[in-house]
Amino acid sequence: MVMKKFMCHWNLTEKNKTAPQSASQIIKTLTYQRLGDVMPELPEVETVRRGLTKLVVGRTIKSVEVRWEKIVGMSAEEFDAEMADRKIEKIDRRGKYLMFRLSGDKTLVSHLRMEGAYYTVPADTTPGKHDLVTFHLDDGNDLFYRDTRKFGRMNLVDTKDAMHLTGLAKIGPEPTEETLTLDYMVEEFKRKGAIKPFLLDQSHIAGLGNIYVDETLWMSKIHPLQPANTITKKQLGVLRENIIKELARATEHHGTTVHSFTNAFGEAGGFQNELQVYGRVGQPCLRCGTELVKTKVAQRGTTYCPKCQVLKV
Protein backbone atom coordinates (compact mmCIF):
# COMPACT_ATOMS: atom_id res chain seq x y z
CA MET A 1 0.00 0.00 0.00
CA VAL A 2 1.66 3.22 -1.16
CA MET A 3 0.97 6.53 0.55
CA LYS A 4 1.01 9.86 -1.26
CA LYS A 5 3.50 12.14 0.46
CA PHE A 6 1.89 14.57 2.91
CA MET A 7 -1.57 13.19 2.30
CA CYS A 8 -3.87 11.50 4.78
CA HIS A 9 -5.25 8.70 2.62
CA TRP A 10 -4.62 5.27 1.25
CA ASN A 11 -3.52 4.85 -2.37
CA LEU A 12 -5.53 1.66 -2.91
CA THR A 13 -5.29 -0.72 -5.85
CA GLU A 14 -8.26 -1.45 -8.07
CA LYS A 15 -8.50 -4.92 -6.51
CA ASN A 16 -8.53 -3.57 -2.95
CA LYS A 17 -10.55 -0.38 -2.95
CA THR A 18 -11.89 -0.95 0.54
CA ALA A 19 -11.10 1.18 3.56
CA PRO A 20 -9.50 -0.68 6.49
CA GLN A 21 -12.02 -2.23 8.86
CA SER A 22 -10.20 -1.66 12.15
CA ALA A 23 -8.47 1.33 13.70
CA SER A 24 -5.28 -0.70 14.02
CA GLN A 25 -5.06 -0.73 10.21
CA ILE A 26 -5.23 3.04 9.91
CA ILE A 27 -1.76 4.25 9.00
CA LYS A 28 -2.44 7.90 8.22
CA THR A 29 -5.60 9.02 9.97
CA LEU A 30 -7.01 11.40 12.52
CA THR A 31 -8.30 9.05 15.17
CA TYR A 32 -8.70 8.31 18.85
CA GLN A 33 -9.30 5.01 20.59
CA ARG A 34 -10.62 5.41 24.10
CA LEU A 35 -8.50 4.09 26.97
CA GLY A 36 -10.19 4.14 30.36
CA ASP A 37 -11.63 7.61 30.91
CA VAL A 38 -9.59 9.37 28.24
CA MET A 39 -11.20 11.64 25.66
CA PRO A 40 -9.48 13.91 23.15
CA GLU A 41 -8.73 17.27 24.73
CA LEU A 42 -7.83 20.64 23.26
CA PRO A 43 -4.29 19.72 22.04
CA GLU A 44 -5.52 16.58 20.27
CA VAL A 45 -8.48 18.35 18.62
CA GLU A 46 -6.24 21.24 17.57
CA THR A 47 -3.88 18.71 16.00
CA VAL A 48 -6.82 17.31 14.01
CA ARG A 49 -7.83 20.83 12.96
CA ARG A 50 -4.36 21.63 11.66
CA GLY A 51 -4.18 18.38 9.72
CA LEU A 52 -7.61 18.80 8.15
CA THR A 53 -6.78 22.38 7.23
CA LYS A 54 -3.89 21.15 5.08
CA LEU A 55 -5.95 18.32 3.59
CA VAL A 56 -9.38 19.72 2.73
CA VAL A 57 -9.56 23.51 3.06
CA GLY A 58 -10.25 24.98 -0.37
CA ARG A 59 -11.98 21.83 -1.56
CA THR A 60 -15.63 21.81 -2.66
CA ILE A 61 -17.99 19.14 -1.38
CA LYS A 62 -19.71 17.58 -4.39
CA SER A 63 -22.07 15.36 -2.39
CA VAL A 64 -22.37 13.55 0.94
CA GLU A 65 -23.42 10.03 1.89
CA VAL A 66 -24.68 9.44 5.45
CA ARG A 67 -24.95 5.91 6.81
CA TRP A 68 -25.97 6.81 10.38
CA GLU A 69 -28.40 9.72 10.40
CA LYS A 70 -28.19 10.37 14.14
CA ILE A 71 -24.65 11.68 13.59
CA VAL A 72 -25.91 14.62 11.49
CA GLY A 73 -29.32 15.21 13.10
CA MET A 74 -31.32 15.08 9.87
CA SER A 75 -32.09 12.69 7.05
CA ALA A 76 -29.29 11.63 4.74
CA GLU A 77 -31.08 13.28 1.82
CA GLU A 78 -31.49 16.59 3.66
CA PHE A 79 -27.86 16.64 4.74
CA ASP A 80 -26.63 15.93 1.23
CA ALA A 81 -28.83 18.67 -0.21
CA GLU A 82 -27.56 21.18 2.35
CA MET A 83 -23.89 20.30 1.95
CA ALA A 84 -23.59 19.78 -1.82
CA ASP A 85 -21.53 22.35 -3.74
CA ARG A 86 -20.31 24.12 -0.61
CA LYS A 87 -16.64 25.03 -0.38
CA ILE A 88 -14.67 24.33 2.81
CA GLU A 89 -13.28 27.81 3.39
CA LYS A 90 -11.68 27.39 6.79
CA ILE A 91 -11.64 25.07 9.82
CA ASP A 92 -11.75 26.65 13.27
CA ARG A 93 -11.77 25.13 16.74
CA ARG A 94 -13.55 26.21 19.90
CA GLY A 95 -12.68 24.13 22.93
CA LYS A 96 -13.04 20.51 21.79
CA TYR A 97 -15.31 21.37 18.82
CA LEU A 98 -14.23 21.52 15.17
CA MET A 99 -15.98 24.16 13.07
CA PHE A 100 -15.95 23.71 9.29
CA ARG A 101 -16.65 27.15 7.79
CA LEU A 102 -18.51 26.61 4.53
CA SER A 103 -19.49 28.85 1.65
CA GLY A 104 -22.95 30.36 1.91
CA ASP A 105 -22.41 31.39 5.55
CA LYS A 106 -22.87 27.87 6.88
CA THR A 107 -20.83 26.13 9.61
CA LEU A 108 -20.61 22.40 10.27
CA VAL A 109 -19.88 21.95 13.98
CA SER A 110 -18.27 18.57 14.69
CA HIS A 111 -17.72 17.04 18.11
CA LEU A 112 -15.56 13.90 17.93
CA ARG A 113 -16.48 12.64 21.41
CA MET A 114 -14.79 9.31 22.17
CA GLU A 115 -13.67 7.91 18.84
CA GLY A 116 -14.65 10.24 16.02
CA ALA A 117 -12.08 10.41 13.21
CA TYR A 118 -11.61 12.05 9.83
CA TYR A 119 -9.39 10.72 7.06
CA THR A 120 -9.14 10.98 3.29
CA VAL A 121 -9.12 8.20 0.72
CA PRO A 122 -9.22 8.05 -3.09
CA ALA A 123 -12.66 8.58 -4.57
CA ASP A 124 -14.81 5.44 -4.89
CA THR A 125 -13.11 3.71 -1.95
CA THR A 126 -15.62 1.37 -0.31
CA PRO A 127 -16.45 2.59 3.22
CA GLY A 128 -15.54 0.39 6.16
CA LYS A 129 -18.04 -0.80 8.73
CA HIS A 130 -17.59 2.25 10.96
CA ASP A 131 -17.25 4.88 8.23
CA LEU A 132 -20.52 6.67 8.85
CA VAL A 133 -20.25 9.73 6.61
CA THR A 134 -18.51 10.24 3.25
CA PHE A 135 -17.86 13.72 1.88
CA HIS A 136 -17.11 13.47 -1.85
CA LEU A 137 -14.61 16.22 -2.68
CA ASP A 138 -13.73 17.86 -5.99
CA ASP A 139 -10.05 16.82 -5.99
CA GLY A 140 -10.52 13.09 -6.56
CA ASN A 141 -10.59 12.23 -2.85
CA ASP A 142 -13.27 11.42 -0.30
CA LEU A 143 -13.26 12.60 3.30
CA PHE A 144 -14.49 9.79 5.58
CA TYR A 145 -15.84 10.26 9.08
CA ARG A 146 -15.34 7.11 11.17
CA ASP A 147 -16.84 6.53 14.62
CA THR A 148 -16.90 3.03 16.09
CA ARG A 149 -19.05 4.04 19.05
CA LYS A 150 -21.30 6.45 17.13
CA PHE A 151 -21.03 9.07 19.89
CA GLY A 152 -19.81 11.92 17.67
CA ARG A 153 -22.18 14.58 16.39
CA MET A 154 -22.33 17.07 13.50
CA ASN A 155 -24.57 20.12 13.42
CA LEU A 156 -25.00 22.19 10.27
CA VAL A 157 -26.12 25.71 11.15
CA ASP A 158 -25.99 29.27 9.91
CA THR A 159 -22.57 30.60 10.86
CA LYS A 160 -24.12 33.37 12.95
CA ASP A 161 -25.89 30.72 15.07
CA ALA A 162 -22.95 28.37 15.64
CA MET A 163 -22.06 29.70 19.08
CA HIS A 164 -25.65 29.26 20.24
CA LEU A 165 -25.48 25.46 20.03
CA THR A 166 -25.61 23.42 23.22
CA GLY A 167 -22.06 22.98 24.46
CA LEU A 168 -20.87 26.18 22.81
CA ALA A 169 -23.38 28.70 24.13
CA LYS A 170 -21.84 28.72 27.60
CA ILE A 171 -18.29 27.62 26.82
CA GLY A 172 -15.52 29.31 28.78
CA PRO A 173 -12.53 31.22 27.39
CA GLU A 174 -9.75 29.55 25.44
CA PRO A 175 -6.63 28.90 27.56
CA THR A 176 -4.44 31.59 26.01
CA GLU A 177 -2.64 34.64 27.42
CA GLU A 178 -5.12 36.96 25.74
CA THR A 179 -8.38 35.23 26.60
CA LEU A 180 -7.79 33.57 29.99
CA THR A 181 -7.09 36.52 32.27
CA LEU A 182 -6.24 36.40 35.95
CA ASP A 183 -9.10 38.80 36.69
CA TYR A 184 -11.51 36.36 35.04
CA MET A 185 -10.16 33.45 37.07
CA VAL A 186 -10.35 35.35 40.36
CA GLU A 187 -14.00 36.10 39.71
CA GLU A 188 -14.90 32.67 38.28
CA PHE A 189 -13.20 30.71 41.07
CA LYS A 190 -15.36 32.28 43.77
CA ARG A 191 -17.73 29.37 43.26
CA LYS A 192 -17.82 26.36 45.55
CA GLY A 193 -16.88 22.84 44.56
CA ALA A 194 -13.75 20.74 44.16
CA ILE A 195 -11.20 22.19 41.72
CA LYS A 196 -10.90 19.15 39.43
CA PRO A 197 -14.56 18.85 38.36
CA PHE A 198 -14.62 22.66 38.25
CA LEU A 199 -11.84 22.63 35.64
CA LEU A 200 -13.43 19.76 33.70
CA ASP A 201 -16.60 21.87 33.31
CA GLN A 202 -16.16 23.50 29.89
CA SER A 203 -18.21 26.53 30.94
CA HIS A 204 -15.28 27.73 33.10
CA ILE A 205 -12.29 27.13 30.80
CA ALA A 206 -12.53 25.56 27.34
CA GLY A 207 -10.64 22.47 26.26
CA LEU A 208 -9.41 20.93 29.51
CA GLY A 209 -9.92 17.21 30.13
CA ASN A 210 -8.73 14.54 32.52
CA ILE A 211 -5.11 14.37 31.39
CA TYR A 212 -4.28 18.06 31.44
CA VAL A 213 -6.26 18.81 34.60
CA ASP A 214 -4.20 16.21 36.48
CA GLU A 215 -1.01 17.60 34.96
CA THR A 216 -1.67 21.27 35.68
CA LEU A 217 -2.92 20.65 39.23
CA TRP A 218 0.28 18.72 39.97
CA MET A 219 2.39 21.48 38.45
CA SER A 220 0.53 24.04 40.60
CA LYS A 221 0.71 21.91 43.79
CA ILE A 222 -3.08 21.95 44.19
CA HIS A 223 -5.02 18.95 45.52
CA PRO A 224 -7.76 17.81 43.07
CA LEU A 225 -10.38 18.07 45.84
CA GLN A 226 -9.34 21.57 46.96
CA PRO A 227 -12.46 23.80 46.91
CA ALA A 228 -12.19 26.27 44.05
CA ASN A 229 -13.21 29.22 46.21
CA THR A 230 -10.34 28.61 48.67
CA ILE A 231 -7.54 28.96 46.13
CA THR A 232 -5.63 32.21 46.59
CA LYS A 233 -5.04 34.78 43.87
CA LYS A 234 -1.34 33.87 43.89
CA GLN A 235 -2.17 30.18 43.38
CA LEU A 236 -4.63 31.07 40.62
CA GLY A 237 -1.88 33.01 38.88
CA VAL A 238 0.37 29.95 38.96
CA LEU A 239 -2.47 27.66 37.81
CA ARG A 240 -3.35 30.01 34.95
CA GLU A 241 0.24 30.12 33.75
CA ASN A 242 0.57 26.34 33.93
CA ILE A 243 -2.69 25.74 32.03
CA ILE A 244 -1.69 28.09 29.21
CA LYS A 245 1.87 26.79 28.88
CA GLU A 246 1.02 23.09 29.26
CA LEU A 247 -1.71 23.07 26.62
CA ALA A 248 0.45 25.05 24.22
CA ARG A 249 3.34 22.64 24.79
CA ALA A 250 1.10 19.58 24.35
CA THR A 251 -0.25 21.01 21.09
CA GLU A 252 3.27 21.45 19.73
CA HIS A 253 3.87 17.76 20.53
CA HIS A 254 0.68 16.85 18.56
CA GLY A 255 -1.16 15.84 21.74
CA THR A 256 -0.95 12.79 23.95
CA THR A 257 -0.95 9.25 22.57
CA VAL A 258 -2.37 7.20 25.43
CA HIS A 259 -4.81 5.89 22.87
CA SER A 260 -4.04 5.11 19.24
CA PHE A 261 -3.91 8.58 17.76
CA THR A 262 -1.94 9.85 14.79
CA ASN A 263 -2.21 13.20 13.12
CA ALA A 264 -2.98 13.93 9.49
CA PHE A 265 0.50 12.94 8.38
CA GLY A 266 0.78 9.65 10.21
CA GLU A 267 2.65 11.10 13.20
CA ALA A 268 1.66 9.87 16.66
CA GLY A 269 1.25 12.48 19.36
CA GLY A 270 4.40 12.70 21.46
CA PHE A 271 3.28 14.38 24.65
CA GLN A 272 2.74 11.10 26.52
CA ASN A 273 6.52 11.12 26.93
CA GLU A 274 6.26 14.47 28.75
CA LEU A 275 3.52 13.57 31.25
CA GLN A 276 4.59 14.11 34.85
CA VAL A 277 1.70 12.58 36.78
CA TYR A 278 -1.06 11.19 34.53
CA GLY A 279 -0.63 7.43 34.05
CA ARG A 280 2.23 7.26 36.59
CA VAL A 281 0.37 5.89 39.64
CA GLY A 282 2.72 3.99 41.94
CA GLN A 283 5.79 5.72 40.53
CA PRO A 284 7.79 8.38 42.40
CA CYS A 285 6.76 12.02 42.13
CA LEU A 286 9.22 13.75 39.83
CA ARG A 287 9.38 16.66 42.28
CA CYS A 288 9.68 15.05 45.74
CA GLY A 289 10.00 11.29 45.18
CA THR A 290 6.78 10.37 47.05
CA GLU A 291 4.77 7.54 45.48
CA LEU A 292 1.95 8.90 43.34
CA VAL A 293 -1.55 7.72 44.25
CA LYS A 294 -4.76 7.38 42.28
CA THR A 295 -8.31 8.01 43.37
CA LYS A 296 -11.69 8.87 41.84
CA VAL A 297 -12.80 12.49 41.61
CA ALA A 298 -16.05 13.25 39.83
CA GLN A 299 -16.00 9.61 38.60
CA ARG A 300 -12.69 10.24 36.82
CA GLY A 301 -9.41 8.47 37.55
CA THR A 302 -7.19 11.04 39.26
CA THR A 303 -3.45 10.76 39.93
CA TYR A 304 -1.68 13.13 42.31
CA CYS A 305 1.16 13.46 44.82
CA PRO A 306 -0.03 13.21 48.46
CA LYS A 307 2.98 15.24 49.66
CA CYS A 308 3.11 18.01 47.07
CA GLN A 309 -0.64 18.36 46.68
CA VAL A 310 -2.02 18.67 50.19
CA LEU A 311 -5.74 19.29 50.75
CA LYS A 312 -6.09 22.51 52.74
CA VAL A 313 -9.34 23.09 54.60
DSSP sequence for 161-187: GGGGSTTTTT----SSTTTS-HHHHHH
- The runs of H, that is alpha helices, within the chain are 42-56, 76-83, 182-188, 195-200, 210-219, 233-252
Write down the catalytic residue from 20, 40, 127, 175.
Answer: 40
Write down the catalytic residue from 20, 41, 246, 280.
Answer: 41
Residue 33 exposure: Cα atoms within 13 Å on the Cβ side: 12
**Count of other CB atoms within 10 angstroms of residue 248:** 15
Write down the catalytic residue from 28, 49, 94, 96.
Answer: 96
Among this protein's residues, is 96 annotated catalytic?
Answer: yes
Write down the catalytic residue from 106, 153, 280, 300.
Answer: 300
Please tell me the total number of residues recorded for the chain in this structure. Answer: 313
Among this protein's residues, is 40 annotated catalytic?
Answer: yes
Residue 203 near residue 197, CB atoms below 8 Å: no
Among this protein's residues, is 284 annotated catalytic?
Answer: no
**Count of other CB atoms within 10 angstroms of residue 29:** 26
Would you name the residues annotated as active-site residues?
Answer: 40-41, 96, 300
